[in-house]
Amino acid sequence: MAELTYLQAISDGLRTEMRRDKRVFVIGEDVGVYGGAFKVTLGFQEEFGHWRVMDAPLAETAIVGACTGAAMMGLRPVAEMQFADFISCAWDHLVTVAAKQRYRAGTPVPITVRLPSGGGFSGGPFHSQNPESSFAHIPGLKCVCPATPEDAKGLLISAIEDPNPVLYFEHKHLYRRIKGEVPEERYTVPLGKARTHREGSDISLITWGAMVYTAEEAAKQLDDDGVSVEIIDLRTVMPWDKTAVLESARKTSKVLVLHEDTRTGGFGAEIAATVAEEAFEDLDAPVRRIAAPDTPVPFSPPLEKAFIPQVEDVTKGLRELAEY
């Protein structure tokens, strides 16, 4: 085991697969000579060469289009968008072609698209989004949202192995803030399998990504009130672990869903609807959601703090559920 930051774990997982499988290559803006905007691929071009660590022009459409063709020819490309927001430029290649190719012709399209996402650093409306729900809605795409360094490595390896296009949302605010023990050997974490981040008996809090830590801080405050909060980290929002969520909901009878994405049409709505449909008779309160308001992400630090769900927002929601 080695203690790695979230960023180091992502880099380690990518390097592990590139050393193991020569079909894996990296392409993106500044991933080569510069080592990536956040230095995930620092030193990769020196080790693997220019043909496996390719600097691309400012053209996300070209990057994802090239990856789609390369994947259909048997390679395993890993594309980096400098920020998750920029994936919208490649919507057509990703959604119209890559996501549907296996359904249409049976052709595997093993693309992994790394998407630095999320706010918390005053990046403004073009560098801070969490657009996972937009893509979770598209049949043929998988969406991964790791919260821990251990999961970051294992889920990335699983994403690269998968025969389908996988969007890998890595939260920028976790890059150098979170550290954890990570196995040095190669391992995988299965897509679609949630983990229990914290055991509890009174309220189930369902979340993913950076919000796992916001949830954890809020849950600790509820301990002082004698309220036991269970935290389920989905890990992947598509596929998502419906079984784990329903088991937790039936165990506690109260559910709060938390995510950093905006509220309307966010993936939390899908979870809330499923719990209401399939575990209604086990509930002692309506399912509650806490999410960002339906606005672009503000640039101003005080406004961004008001936009992103904070510990006090979650604590308030948990207390209201506990008292219901």
Instruction: Read off the pLDDT of each residue in 72-88 and give the average, rounded to a whole number.
Output: 97
Write down the pLDDT at residue 40.
97
Tokens of 187: 């391992």
Question: What's the domain count of the chain?
Answer: 2
Asked which of 43-47, 123-127, 158-162, 289-293 is least confident by mean pLDDT, the reply is 123-127
**Together in a domain, 45 and 163:** yes
> CB under 8 Å, gap of 24 or more: what pairs does 183-189 form?
183/1, 183/150, 183/153, 184/1, 184/2, 186/16, 186/20, 186/157, 187/153, 187/154, 187/157, 188/154, 188/157, 188/158, 188/161, 189/150, 189/151, 189/154, 189/155, 189/157, 189/158, 189/235
**Together in a domain, 156 and 46:** yes
What angle do the packed helices 149-161 and 6-20 form, to 10 degrees? 30
Give the CATH number for residue 271. Answer: 3.40.50.920
Tokens of 151: 């999961």
In angstroms, rounded to a whole number, what is the distance separating the alpha carbons of residues 225 and 248? 21
In angstroms, rounded to a whole number, what is the distance separating the alpha carbons of residues 252 and 255? 8
Asked whether the beta carbons of 193 and 21 are under 8 A apart, the reply is: no
Instruction: Read off the pLDDT of each residue in 56-70 and give the average, rounded to a whole number.
Output: 96
What percent of the chain has a predicted confidence (pLDDT) above 90? Answer: 99
Residue 286 belongs to some domain of the structure: yes
> CB-based burial of residue 130 (10 Å sphere; 0-12 exposed, 13-18 middle, 19+ buried)?
buried
Q: Which helix (H) or strand (E) holds 67?
A: helix 60-72
Q: Which residues contact 227 (CB under 8 A, 6 or more apart)?
A: 202, 203, 318, 319, 322
**Together in a domain, 165 and 205:** no
**Together in a domain, 60 and 163:** yes
Please give the positions annotated as active site. 127
User: How far apart, in Å, are the Cα atoms of 216 and each of 213, 262, 276?
Assistant: 5, 21, 24
**Together in a domain, 203 and 143:** no
**Together in a domain, 104 and 217:** no
Final residue in a domain of this structure, among 127, 153, 182:
182
In angstroms, rounded to a whole number, what is the distance separating the alpha carbons of residues 240 and 248? 14
pLDDT in tens, 262-311: 999 999 999 999 999 999 999 999 999 999 999 999 999 999 999 999 99
**Together in a domain, 200 and 157:** no
**Together in a domain, 151 and 173:** yes
Final residue in a domain of this structure, among 152, 182, 212:
182
Q: DSSP 3-state assignment of 253?
A: coil
Write down the pLDDT at residue 235.
98
Residue 187 belongs to some domain of the structure: no
In angstroms, rounded to a whole number, what is the distance separating the alpha carbons of residues 195 and 198? 9
**Together in a domain, 160 and 200:** no
Give the CATH number for residue 140. Answer: 3.40.50.970
Write down the pLDDT at residue 268.
97
Q: Which domain does 217 fall in, by range? A: 195-323
Write down the pLDDT at residue 263.
97
pLDDT in tens, 4-34: 999 999 999 999 999 999 999 999 999 999 9
Write down the pTM of the prediction: 0.96
Tokens of 225: 């009130």
In angstroms, rounded to a whole number, what is the distance separating the alpha carbons of residues 260 and 271? 15
Residue 99 belongs to some domain of the structure: yes
| Start-to-end Cα distance in the chain | 44
> CB under 8 Å, gap of 24 or more: what pairs does 33-38 form?
36/80, 37/82, 37/83, 37/116, 38/7, 38/116, 38/172, 38/175
